[in-house]
């Protein structure tokens, strides 16, 4: 792993991985702030800021930004999540100075013009509308809302129409000055990049970034709550999510949870796919996942199926969860490890994937994690640890249930909770 790290006098961290066989570079700025860092009256502002960064600076119009990067065949984009925000580019090696200049420009000199803000609010309102019209988006938003009720972690990243409409340039600047500071920012590049040259370019162009916030960043401690949320819609299929409290990134069972999710629903050979889809034909999509955050996590199973299949589908899923707490084969662990190893190695062939991976590791662990060290952590996972974890995850915590579509036949949460707590019991068909 040819990774070099420099911490500038300003507090900004610069990280590169040289991949000399490439002609391109993936580079970006990652900020350790996202929607969780919003105050109550800022719901959706992190995502709006990400949009507004591309809408003009003191030196460039929105069109200038787009044309300059595309004139050299480059790409420019951004993303907002619950705990991070990123702005990134992909260019040929000769155009790295231009990409650095544009990224620095949009992060230090954004104009936040009133007319551009009005137009972008309209765009985001359409984005919110499109998400509300997409059942598999809705079911995940509602899932997070009920799992972390009344908390920033449970709020949709896009915000609401009312909050988005009310934002002012002043509010955006306040959020920016509180969160986009050098102690929370990482500039990362992977590909045909020279560390010393790149570091000098970053140091020159990002010199105006503030070192410390004008007020402390907001981050409330997460509390997993769980519960039930349903929305009946006239659709062809039902979207169902069953979840449980998972593990934070730094907890001992985090990697164990990742392996368990892979075994249960990580691919076509997984238990849920084979039993629910292949053997019984109860749904067209089923998978498991584990999301880790800085102080909590969530483990979930998502299925998309016809409403008539729900009375049979849910008990089968519960039965598979119970089986995972009783027995797991070594072969399943080996297959999950092999899949993770392949993902890591394949990611090393993509500069964009490597830049993103390095940035996430810097934000979470303060250093890049070499692949051999990652695999060593996975080697310590045994069948006994996995069955013990499954028992604690699925049967010792309050479940979260989110469902959208023709869900009249979905059992009440009380029946599902009882079925999880009592071996052999079947969930009943919901009344009505």
What pTM does this model have? 0.92
pLDDT (0 to 100) of residue 128: 97
Q: How confident is the model at residue 430 (pLDDT cuts 50, 70, 90)?
A: very low
Q: Where in the chain is the domain with CATH 3.30.830.10?
A: 3-205, 227-421
Give the tens place of pLDDT for each residue, 295-305.
999 999 999 99
Q: Of the listed 38, 42, 50, 83, which one is catalytic?
A: 50
The pLDDT score that the predictor gives to residue 423 is 60
Cα Rg of the chain, angstroms: 23
pLDDT in tens, 37-81: 999 999 999 999 999 999 999 999 999 999 999 999 999 999 999
Q: Are 313 and 283 in contact (CB under 8 A)?
A: yes
Buried b (16+ CB within 10 A) or exposed e, 55-66: bbbeebebeebe
Q: What percent of the chain has pLDDT over 90?
A: 89
Q: What CATH number belongs to 227-421?
A: 3.30.830.10
Predicted pLDDT at 130? 97
- Does the pLDDT value for residue 218 go beyond 80? no
In percent, the amount of the chain with pLDDT more than 70 equals: 97
For range 316-339, the mean pLDDT = 96
pLDDT for res 426:
52
For residue 314, the model assigns a pLDDT of 96
Q: What is the layout of strands, in order, in the sheet containing 238-245?
A: 227-232, 400-405, 238-245, 297-305, 285-292
Average model confidence (pLDDT) across the chain = 94
Q: What is the pLDDT of residue 432?
A: 35
Active site residue 50: yes
**With 50 as the cut, is the pLDDT of residue 322 above it?**
yes
Q: What distance in Å separates the CA atoms of residue 88 and residue 111, rounded to the nearest whole number?
A: 19
Look at residue 82 and tell me whether its pLDDT is greater than 90. Answer: yes
- Residues 261-278, mean pLDDT to the nearest whole number: 96
Residue 232: per-residue pLDDT:
97
Residue 374: per-residue pLDDT: 87
Separation between Cα atoms, residue 209 and residue 197, nearest integer Å: 20
- Which CATH superfamily does the domain covering 3-205 fall into? Metalloenzyme, LuxS/M16 peptidase-like (3.30.830.10)
Average pLDDT over residues 73-102: 98
pLDDT tens column, 128-144 = 999 999 999 999 999 99
Q: What is the 3-state secondary structure (H, E, C) of the chain?
A: CCEEEEECCCCCEEEEEECCCCCEEEEEEEECCCHHHCCHHHCCHHHHHHHHCCCCECCCCHHHHHHHHHHCCCEEEEEECCCCEEEEEEEEHHHHHHHHHHHHHHHHCECCCHHHHHHHHHHHHHHHHHHHCCHHHHHHHHHHHHHCCCCHHHCCCCCCHHHHHHCCHHHHHHHHHHHCCHHHEEEEEEECCCHHHHHHHHHHHCCCCCCCCCCCCCCCCCCCCCEEEEEECCCCCEEEEEEEECCCCCCCCHHHHHHHHHHHHCCCCCHHHHHHHHHCCCCCEEEEEEEECCCCEEEEEEEEECHHHHHHHHHHHHHHHHHHHHCCCHHHHHHHHHHHHHHHHHHCCCHHHHHHHHHHHHHHHCCCCCHHHHHHHHHCCCHHHHHHHHHHHHHCCCCEEEEEECCCCCCCHHHHHHHHHCCCCCCCCCCC
Of 299, 301, 266, 306, the closest CA to residue 284 belongs to: 306
Stronger pLDDT, 371 or 259, i.e. the higher one: 259
- Give the mean pLDDT of 222-242: 97
pLDDT 10s digits, 178-195: 999 999 999 999 999 999
Q: What is the pLDDT of residue 428?
A: 46
Average confidence (pLDDT) over 173-180: 94
């Amino acid at each position: 792993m040819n990774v070099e790290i420099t911490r500038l006098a300003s507090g900004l961290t610069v990280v590169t991985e040289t991949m000399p066989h490439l002609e391109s570079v993936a580079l970006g700025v990652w900020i350790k702030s996202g929607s969780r860092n919003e105050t109550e009256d800022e719901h959706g502002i992190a995502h709006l800021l990400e949009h507004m960064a591309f809408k003009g600076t003191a030196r460039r119009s929105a069109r200038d930004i787009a044309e300059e990067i595309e004139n050299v065949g480059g790409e420019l984009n951004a993303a907002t999540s619950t705990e991070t925000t990123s702005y990134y580019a992909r260019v040929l090696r000769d155009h790295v100075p231009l990409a650095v200049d544009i990224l620095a420009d949009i992060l230090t000199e954004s104009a936040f013009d009133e007319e551009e803000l009005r137009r972008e609010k309209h765009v985001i309102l359409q984005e919110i509308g499109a998400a509300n019209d997409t059942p598999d988006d809705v079911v995940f938003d509602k899932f997070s809302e009920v799992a972390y009720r009344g908390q920033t972690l449970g709020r949709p990243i896009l915000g609401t129409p009312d909050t988005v409409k009310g934002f002012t340039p002043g509010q955006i600047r306040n959020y920016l000055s509180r969160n986009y500071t050098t102690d929370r920012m990482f500039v990362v590049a992977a590909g045909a990049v020279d560390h010393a040259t790149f570091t000098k370019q970053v140091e020159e162009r990002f010199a105006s970034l503030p070192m410390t916030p004008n007020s402390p960043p907001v981050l409330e401690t997460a509390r997993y709550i769980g519960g039930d949320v349903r929305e009946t819609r006239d659709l062809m299929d039902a979207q169902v999510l069953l979840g449980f409290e998972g593990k934070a990134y730094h907890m001992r069972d985090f990697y164990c949870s990742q392996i368990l999710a892979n075994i249960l629903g990580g691919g076509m050979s997984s238990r849920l796919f084979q039993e629910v889809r292949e053997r019984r034909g109860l749904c067209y999509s089923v998978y498991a996942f584990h999301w880790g955050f800085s102080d909590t996590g969530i483990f979930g199973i998502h299925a998309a199926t016809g409403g008539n299949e729900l009375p049979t589908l849910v008990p089968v899923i519960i039965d598979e969860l119970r089986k995972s707490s009783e027995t797991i084969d070594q072969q399943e662990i080996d297959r999950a490890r092999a899949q993770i190893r392949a993902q890591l190695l394949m990611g090393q062939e993509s500069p964009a994937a490597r830049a993103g991976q390095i940035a996430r590791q810097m934000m979470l662990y303060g250093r890049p994690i070499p692949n051999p060290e990652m695999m060593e952590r996975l080697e310590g996972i045994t069948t006994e640890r996995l069955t013990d974890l499954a028992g604690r995850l699925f049967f010792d915590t309050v479940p979260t249930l989110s469902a959208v579509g023709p869900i009249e036949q979905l059992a009440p949460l009380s029946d599902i909770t009882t079925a999880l707590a009592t071996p052999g019991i079947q969930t009943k068909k919901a009344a009505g």
